[in-house]
Structure 1
Amino acid sequence: MANKSANKKTLSVYLYIPNIIGYIRVLMNIVAFARCFSDKKLFSVLYFISFICDGIDGWFARKFNQVSTFGAVLDMVTDRVSTACLLAVLSQIYRPGLVFLSLLALDVGSHWLQMYSTFLSGKVSHKDVKDSTNWLFKAYYGNRLFMAYCCVASENTNLKVLMML
């Protein structure tokens, strides 16, 4: 009986509102990147909506107490894949593309190091930096407005570079 209850709880995690938003983000990104070379305007709109949904899903997770490991991983992987695809597209448009591929390596590497150090220190979230000595980590993860500004500025810059063609 307990196993049936655990399976029902596990199934419900997949139907959490923030996770459904995550699935929609994945679908939007698939369509966006499938059309990125032929319809830049559609690509930009879908990519930007996906980006906005990235903030909304976290808000829903906290508001409805639907925080889950599955949702956190879905969100992080969707973010990394979206950024990686965008940088790969930019590296194909602007030659030589080494600067975009370097940014891709920096993005993946820095997130991997942050996540790995989080697990080694026994923390639950990579955003828990209250005991960090790094002022930049504290500023970025400790102030949601600053983090939002950095994310929006970065994505806006990437989309402007893409639209310049």
Structure 2
Amino acid sequence: MAEQLILEGSTREERYRELYPQLQALLGAETDRIANLANMAAAFRQTFGFFWVGFYLVSGRELVLGPFQGDIACTRIPYGRGVCGDAWAKGMSLVVPDVDSYPGHIACSSLSRSEIVVPIRSVRGEVVGVLDVDSQELGDFTEEIDRPWLEQYVGLLAPLFP
């Protein structure tokens, strides 16, 4: 089991590339859902210095806060509300360069300026939660780099949701 990340890349894309096999090995050695979500959140925060990174899991018609790294967060998010609820309802990743301009944005922290939310799918393809990543910088996430890499990472979680 990996207990230390080895990262030498200077760009975000290089770090995504280096982190992937290490996180793949870490998650593959553990079957507990909460432990894996917690380690993935910690790895993202450690690697990229994101302001907030965590998971919300589907419970009925709400997303409920799961493992995360960062300041205290909103505990429940209704289906179709805010960036997380919209990503769940639409079943697609959302990159928001300026959260203040997003209609219906839920401000869990006034320090968050941009956000990316990636749906987590079960092995059957159902959305069972979302990965939520916030930055204190405007336009910090891109469709070209962050979205495809985070979607690939989230794909590692499907076996935890049979």
Q: Same fold (TM over 0.5)?
A: no
Q: Could you say which TM-score interval applies, normalised by the shorter chain?
A: 0.3 to 0.5
Write 1 or 2 for the structure with the bigger share of strand: 2
- Could you tell me the TM-score, scaled by structure 1's length? 0.33
Write 1 or 2 for the structure with the bigger share of helix: 1
Structure number with larger C-alpha Rg: 1
